[in-house]
Structure formats: C-alpha cells, structure tokens
A = this chain, B = another copy of it.
Amino acid sequence: MKLSKTEEQLMQHLWKLQKAFMKDILEQYDEPKPATTTIATLLKRMTDKGYVSYTTFGKSREYYPLIKKEDYFSNHLNGLIKNFFNDSASQFASFFTKETNLSDTELKELRKIIDQQLKDNNQ
C-alpha cells in the first residue's frame, strides 16, 4: 500500500534521521508543529503499511524506515513515467531537461553522468 502525502513527509524525516525517537521527529517539523498524537497515528499507520519499524527502548521507541529512499523513489518515478510518458523514460528525460531550468553547470554535470553511463554500458 502506498503512503499518503503526509506520511511521505514523515518518511523524509525518518530517512534523514535514520533512527528517531518521537521527540527527534517532532523537532524536524516547523512551527506550528503537529500534535504528538498526530505523529503517533501516522507512525502506527506507516508501521501497518510496512514502511516503518522500531526498536523498543524502555517505554519509548526508536523508529526507523524499512525502505530506502532511493527504492521508494524509484518506484514512485516509474509509476510517474508509466503514467505520463507511456512508459518511455527517454521521453520523460527529454521533457525533464526542457522543463526544469537547469543551469549550465548542472547541465554539464548531467552530461558528464551520461557520458559515464555510456562508457559503463560499453565495457
């Protein structure tokens, strides 16, 4: 089952912290912070969905993500691509480079990555 928007946001914090107690999580939020119980509810739901687990330390828990950000995102992206670009990553890539305003430096960086990829592919 997928995470909702708000749950995803919480995941971001967990990914960042790796391991976190309730208070660490709360700290991550900007003012006005959500109620502790709100976070608790979200964490429980996320645990049920299989995205989060925790180690019990005395009365409280240290939460951690069960899925890597990269993996989660990868799926996400594939869904997006499938949905919007008939499953064609290259079509997406072209769209992407046109639509996002990358600076020259960023474009060059990206080209470097591509060249590296090409090299890797061919030996």
Contact = CB atoms under 8 A, between A and B. Distances in A.
B118 A93 contact: no
A27 interface: no
Nearest to A106: B90
Interface of A is mostly: helix
B111 A114 contact: yes
Interface in A108-123: 108-111, 113-115, 117-118, 121-122
Interface residues of A, number: 41
A37 B58 CA distance: 53
Contact of A90 (B70, B83, B95, B110): B110
Given A93-B106, A106-B89, A111-B114, A100 B121 contact: no
